Amino acid sequence: MTATATVVVPPKQRRELDALRRFAPVLVLVGLVIGLTLKRSDFLSIGQQQQLVESAAPLLVFATGMTVVVMCGGIDLSIAAFAGFASLWFARFVPHLGIGALVAVMLLGAAIGTVQGVIHVKAQIPSFVVTLGGLALWAGLALLQDKPSILIASNSSVLALDGRLVGVPRLAILAGSLALVTGLLMWATPVGRWVRAVGSNETAAYLSGVPVVATRIAAFAFCTMCAALAGCMVAIDQTNGSPGTGRTQLLPTVAAVVVGGTAITGGVGGVGRTVVGVLIVKVLGTGLSIIGIGQKWENILYGALVIVAAALTIDGSKLTVVK
């Protein structure tokens, strides 16, 4: 308000605090894993870990795309619905294009994300609204077909992606590579700065000649492309595409991004944090059901833990206004 005199905190203490904050998500993850291992000793076994990593793969892909959009200060609600839509087209393309179907569907995703981004940026309406409309549109269009699901022929080359490479699920490698490449791009090229600049102070970014419009649109294109990829990954795992593919993944995706430490208000965050967030959400979600707690209480506990995890990982002290 007033000459918002620079918040002066002794540098050393502040650094410690920041470091602690930065690693809070990791600490939460470790705490969860310890808790689960105490309860079920084989939680850390290879089999369990393989399974965890495998099931986390699509969520990581969703969340990687979402991270970029959230860092820009936006949100994309259409990802889950679009993943279902994409999985259908993927299954349809596979007989003709083989592995190329994956590329085709991702391009389709990028194109559609671009459209959503253009509407958001050019018509200047909140991304929440545009993508809410997208959610309805893609969910509706996915239903416009005769069969409830389209099978991917079992001899198809794309199904080879479902195997394991030296014990690590291939899909997880794919997801991990995507996150890694995205993280590298954000770190090593100006794009990451543009994204953070747009998310923190769009006006200043614009007036510095940052390609604000392009950055935003690209973020949405990338996010929808990731959603398409995630949809294909689920389809490969299920060996078919259906409108319901990935349907339930929207809120876990946002939760993973935010719990990982990316501010929902934009500007602050990163793909690395999201990886941790994804693991937290996955360990929470599947962990609760495997350790055999009273399942009646599972939802209540899940909700409570989401809040606790968020409270621990989100640096409230940096937010002057919490919304």
Partner 1 sequence: MSIDARPAMRSTGVGTSPRRLGIFARRRTANASAVRARATAGERVLKWGPLAALALLCMFFAWRAERFATVDNLKNVLDQSAVLSIATVGITFVLLLGAIDLSMEGIMSACVMVGALLVMNSRNANDWGLFAVIPVVLVGAAFGLANGLITTRLKVPSFMTTVGMSAVGLGVAQLLFDGDQPRVLDRPLRAWAIGRVFGFTRATLVAVVCIAIGVVIQRHTRLGRYATAIGSAEDIVALSGVNVRRYKALAFALAGAFYSIAAVLLFLKQGTGNDELAVNVNFAAITAAVVGGTLLSGGQGGVLQSIVGVLIVKVLENGLLLLDVQPALQRAVQGVIVVGAVVAATWPLRHRLRVVK
Partner 2 sequence: MSAAVPALRLEGISKRFGAVQAITDMTFEVRRHEVVGLLGENGAGKSTLLKILVGLVEPDTGTMYRDGQQVRFRTVTAAADAGIGMVYQEQSLVPSLTVAENILLGCEGHGVNAGVFRWRKLRELAQAQLDKIGSNIPVRAVTSQLTFPQRQMVEIAKVLSIEERTAFDPVVLLDEPTSVLDGPDVAVLFEQIERLRERASVVLVSHRIEEVMAVADRIYVLRNGVVAAERRPTETTTDELRHLMIGREDTGSHFHAERQADCADTPRLEIVGLSSAHFHDVNITLRKGEVVGLAGVQGSGREELCRAIFGALKVDAGEIILDGEKVKARSPRGAVQVGIGYLPAERRTEGMIGTMSVAENMSLATVGTVCRGPVLDREREKRVVDDWIERLRIRTPSGSVPMRQLSGGNQQKVVLARWLMSGDLKVLLLDHPTRGLDVGAKSEVYALVRDLAANGVSLLVLCDGLDETIALGHRVIVMRDGEVSAEFAAVRDAKPRPDKIMEHML
Partner 3 sequence: MHSRTMKRLTAGMLLVTMTLAACGSDDGGDAATPSSAASTSAAPATDAPATTGGSETTTAGGDDTTAPAGDACAPEDVVLIGQVRDETNPYEKSWLDGGDEFAASVGLEQKRLTYGDDSTKEQDQIKQELSSGNTSCYVLNILPNTEGDTKPIADAAKEAGAFLVTQWNKPADLAVEDYDRWASHISYDGVESGKLIAETMFHAMGGEGGIVALQGGLATTAAKDRFAGLQEALAANPGIELLDEQTANWSQAEALTVLQTLITKHGDKIKGVWTANDGMALGAMEALDAAGMSDVAVVGIDAVPEAVTAVADGRMTATVSSDGPWQGGVGLAIGYCAAIGEIDIASLTADNRAFYANQTLITADNAADFATPSVDLTEFDCANVFNRVSGPLG
Which residues of this chain interact with partner 1, rule CB under 8 A? Answer: 1, 73-74, 119-120, 123-130, 132-141, 143-144, 202-203, 206, 251, 254-255, 258-259, 264-266, 296-307, 310-311, 314, 316-317, 319-323
Question: Stretches 41-49, 88-96, 107-115, 195-203: which one binds partner 2 (CB under 8 A)?
Answer: 195-203
160 part of the interface to partner 3, by CB under 8 A: no
188 part of the interface to partner 2, by CB under 8 A: yes
Query: Which positions from 256 through 295 interact with partner 2, judged by CB under 8 A?
Result: 267-268
322 part of the interface to partner 2, by CB under 8 A: no
Figure out which of the listed residues 196, 216, 273, 282 binds partner 2, where binding follows CB under 8 A. Answer: 196
CB of 25 to partner 2, least distance (A): 19
CB of 187 to partner 2, least distance (A): 8
In angstroms, rounded to a whole number, what is the distance separating the alpha carbons of residues 266 and 279?
A: 21
In angstroms, rounded to a whole number, what is the distance separating the alpha carbons of residues 264 and 126?
A: 14
Going from the C-alpha of 168 to that of each of 54, 77, 241, 272, the distances in angstroms are: 8, 31, 24, 20
Contacts of 68 (CB under 8 A, 6+ apart): 182, 186, 195, 219, 222, 223, 271
Three-class SS state of 152: coil
19 part of the interface to partner 2, by CB under 8 A: no
How does strand 168-169 pair with strand 164-165? antiparallel
CB of 319 to partner 3, least distance (A): 13
- CB-side exposure of 134: number of CA atoms within 13 Å? 31
Sign of the Cα pseudo-torsion (250, 184, 272, 161, in order): positive
Residues that bind partner 2 (CB under 8 A): 1-11, 13, 188-190, 193, 196-197, 200-201, 203-211, 267-268
